Amino acid sequence: MDSSFPAAPLRFPVLETSIPEVSIIIPARNEEASLRACLESLTTQTGVAFEIIVVDDASIDRTREIAESFAGVRVISPGPLPQGPAGTGWTGKNNAMIAGAKQARADWLLFTDADTVHLPGSLARALDEAKKKQADLLSYSPEQVVITFAERAVMPVIFAELAAHYPPHKVRDETSEIVAANGQYILVHRAAHEAVGGHTAVATEILEDVTLARLFRNAGHRVYFRYGRDAVRTRMYRNWPQLREGWTKNLALLFPRPEFLAFQSLTVWFAAWSTLAIAVFDVTSRHFVWILAAAFWLLLYRRIRAAHFAVVNNLLAMAFGLPMFAYLLIRSKKAHAKGQVSWKGRVYSTAAPSESTFTGMQAPKPISRIESQGFKS
């Protein structure tokens, strides 16, 4: 996924005068490392008429230049972040998606991140799936691409815990209180999106995808969520600093009682390694301890494999990922308790997560989040 330019501008079959079936909206802030691959995968989609709108959110790298190199892609700017009383304001991503939705012309809107890569024909298949499932909001959890040691060790643990807390089959159950979506891929019917207030209704939310899905569910619109390896993949973070900053922003909002989950993760990790060490070095009761050690590791592997990563990555996660996950949980909890997290050069002021916050992810209760316009280059 290098950031070099295509040999010639790519074109796709949407005339400016035609009305597309899907408007693809990509919020992009300093995404020169990944945007080209994303647009290459989207501009070559077939089987459905579409338009692509890249919302350049005050990038200081080559993001706009790369987007404009693709013929037919519209590149817009979202404008400054609106501010309200007491410094409350919209998040940068929400501001970009709101701006993109205003420019969109289609009846279906696909909100997708600049670090995603879309498989051939996936857009047409997703639209067909949404219609067949009568879904007003369809969301895929992309296949996660991991390369560095930190990614390979931590990401399987995090996504295994997400799968445990937000099982896709329960999210799809209209009678379930559990609801979720993945902001990397959200396809919505425009009429339903506007009926719930669109992204304007979640403009101050850091965890806007889950909150938007809840709004759809509360309004009686169908939410359909599944693992989308057959449609889209993404590499969320490219190094440890990015990974640490991103999950610090989100983990305390995704998991109730993060301190307890951190303690639980460390306890399981310590128990697994302790029983293995005893089995290796204790010759008097080796048989029993080997059985105990095997049970610990098998149970741990069974939980982590739910995240759909390769076997070698699952093993790395079992060996090293749990204490790293515990560290990120505590770091996220402390950051939110202090009322401040950062992402992509912006500082976000937050209210500390409470137990009602997580009840709110499953029931009609608002989650209040605030973003300041402080900028760090």
Q: 272-311 pLDDT, tens per residue? A: 888 777 766 665 556 777 777 777 788 889 889 999 999 9
Q: What is the pTM of this model?
A: 0.85
- The b-or-e profile of 103-140 (16+ CB within 10 A means b, else e) is ebebebbbbbbbbbbbbeebbbbbbebbeeeebbbbbb
* Lowest mean per-residue pLDDT among 72-81, 272-281, 337-346: 272-281
Position 350 in a domain: yes
257 and 201 belong to one structural domain: no
Position 14 in a domain: no
pLDDT above 80 for 375: no
Of 216, 238, 260, at which residue does a domain stop? 238
Number of domains in the chain: 2
Q: What is the 3-state secondary structure (H, E, C) of the chain?
A: CCCCCCCCCCCCCCCCCCCCCEEEEEEECCCCCCHHHHHHHHHCCCCCCEEEEEEECCCCCCHHHHHHCCCCCEEECCCCCCECHHHCECCHHHHHHHHHHHHCCCCEEEEECCCEEECCCHHHHHHHHHHHCCCCEEEEECEECCCCHHHHHHHHHHHHHHHHHCCHHHHHCCCCCCCCCCCCEEEEEHHHHHHCCHHHHHCCCCCHHHHHHHHHHHCCCCEEEEECCCCEEECCCCCHHHHHHHHHHHHHHHCCCHHHHHHHHHHHHHHHHHHHHHHHHCCCCHHHHHHHHHHHHHHHHHHHHHHCCCHHHHHHHHHHHHHHHHHHHHHHHHHHHHCEEEECCEEEEECCCCHHHHHHCCCCCCCCECCCCCECC
Contact by Cβ (8 Å): 321, 157: yes
Position 5 in a domain: no
Pick 232 or 89 by higher pLDDT.
Answer: 232
247 and 171 belong to one structural domain: no
307 and 336 belong to one structural domain: yes
pLDDT above 60 for 177: yes
pLDDT digits (tens, 9 = 90+) for 99-134: 999 999 999 999 999 999 999 999 999 999 999 999
Pick 362 or 299 by higher pLDDT.
Answer: 299
Pick 11 or 33 by higher pLDDT.
Answer: 33
Can you give the pLDDT at residue 272? 82
- Return phi, psi of residue 329, to 5°: -60, -50
Reported as a pLDDT band with limits 50, 70 and 90, residue 314 is very high
Position 227 in a domain: yes
- Calculate the average pLDDT of the chain: 86
205 and 296 belong to one structural domain: no
55 and 140 belong to one structural domain: yes
Position 9 in a domain: no
Position 333 in a domain: yes
40 and 162 belong to one structural domain: yes
Can you give the pLDDT at residue 202? 93
Of 180, 208, 238, at which residue does a domain stop? 238
37 and 168 belong to one structural domain: yes
Of 238, 254, 277, at which residue does a domain stop? 238
248 and 355 belong to one structural domain: yes
Q: 123: domain CATH number?
A: 3.90.550.10
51 and 181 belong to one structural domain: yes
Pick 375 or 246 by higher pLDDT.
Answer: 246
| Domain span including residue 190 | 22-238
219 and 258 belong to one structural domain: no
* Lowest mean per-residue pLDDT among 52-56, 98-102, 342-346: 342-346
183 and 50 belong to one structural domain: yes
144 and 43 belong to one structural domain: yes
Position 139 in a domain: yes
Position 6 in a domain: no
Mean pLDDT of 260-274: 90
